[in-house]
Amino acid sequence: MPIELTPLSITLLAVLTATFLINCAYLFLLYNKFAFKKQEESRLVKNEPVSIVICARNESANLEKNLPAILEQDYPEFEVIVVNDCSYDDSKDVLDAIAAKYKNLRIVQLEENDKYRHGKKFALTLGIKASKYDLLLLTDADCLPLSNLWVAKMVENYNNDTEIVLGYSPYSKQSGFLNKFIRFETFMTALNYLSFANAGKPYMGVGRNLSYRKDLFFRNKGFASHMHLPSGDDDLFVNAHATALNTRIEVSKEAAMLSEPKNTFSEFWQQKRRHMSVGKFYKPYHKCMLSIRTINALLFYGVFIAALILKINYEVVLTIFGLHLIFLTITYRKAMQKLQVQDLWFFSFLYDFVYNLYLVLMTLVKPSASKVRWK
């Protein structure tokens, strides 16, 4: 029996096909090139000295747990600078005790000033100014290196042109849907910024695992262009100064920094609102490409559901959706293996749908960048 085509059914099938093709373009031209890229062989290392800078505010427990693993990295010459940013817990005592054992630990102590409230960028700038070496490696107090080769693996990427190295920082695996979604959201964030960088279009990095040259920082006046914004010490700095020539990525397991996720949806929501509040300050090209991906994915799922409800040409609709699932899950499987979250693969298509809904919701309700705070 011939299928009757109405203007509505033709429109929905056309939109479904168009959004499917756009999804394929992102998958094959962007994500696949990262996911299936072979691990490069070890590069010639100059063993350039490194300054590791960590900003910490009321992080005594994390400093006690994680800092020794950073101080004991297998690397010839490095220092660790911890900026104790106006902490009112026992961070100072913890740091003093660790400093007595590790001679490569330096502490920058900041005190609260009632007349001037500063954010992380101010603390980080002071830490960078206090550093002895040109090669900087940044992380947070709640991050734990997955190996004692973290520094070495990140530094391997530096050559005469390199000024920025983008690392990867997954969250630890716990039980429950919230943890799975947080780790999937982190995976998608990493898949985006690492894939774009791999394609020569770097647009952000994460401060939990990020490296750049001190000369690059001061040559561009640090965070001066966005010092008024509490967030963006990592992604806005990278967005402004990363290029295809000066930026490399490092995703080996040895170079990953493991972080602890939020335990409640409210905490996670506030954290992501802070992170996403600066997205509007990205370069227009990056905002456009990221927005198209999200809107297109959500439109694809919406039209697919509408076509099923309206009983429009099941064979064509299900074929298109089936191909989408095959291409998506193959790409995600390979990328998840590379980024150490392969346990999320089985339900990745469901997480992908929820993730795109979440992005639209975050975009609609995210606060002004000037209203978010550093702890």
- Please state the pTM of the whole predicted model: 0.91
- C-alpha dihedral, 234 to 239 to 245 to 250, nearest 10°: 40
User: Tokens at residue 75, please?
Assistant: 């690397």
H or E element: which one contains 213? strand 210-213
Residue 41: what pLDDT? 63
* Residue 51 to residue 131: CA distance in whole angstroms: 6
Q: What is the pLDDT of residue 43?
A: 62
User: For the chain, what is the radius of gyration of the CA atoms?
Assistant: 22
> Of 291, 250, 63, 224, whose CA–CA distance to 155 is shortest?
250
Which segments of 177-309 does DSSP mark as H helices, in order? Answer: 177-198, 214-219, 235-241, 265-276, 284-309
Could you give the CA distance from residue 98 to residue 85 in angstroms, rounded to a whole number?
A: 17
Backbone angles phi, psi at 343, to 5 degrees: -65, -15
Per-residue confidence (pLDDT) for residue 314, from 0 to 100: 87
pLDDT of residue 69: 98
Query: pLDDT by residue for the chain (375 residues), tens digit each?
Result: 445 678 888 999 999 999 999 999 999 999 999 999 987 665 656 689 999 999 999 999 999 999 999 999 999 999 999 999 989 999 999 999 999 999 999 999 998 776 666 788 999 999 999 999 999 999 999 999 999 999 999 999 999 999 999 999 999 999 999 999 999 999 999 999 999 999 999 999 999 999 999 999 999 999 988 888 878 889 999 999 999 999 999 999 999 999 998 888 888 878 777 777 787 889 999 999 999 999 999 999 999 999 999 988 889 999 999 999 999 999 999 999 999 999 999 999 899 999 988 888 777 765 554 455 556
Give residue 5's pLDDT. 72
Instruction: Give the span between the Cα atoms of 219 and 134, in whole angstroms.
Output: 12
The dihedrals phi and psi of 118, each to the nearest 5 degrees, come to -110, 165
Cα–Cα dist 268/262, whole Å: 5
Rounded to whole angstroms, the maximal C-alpha distance in the chain is 84
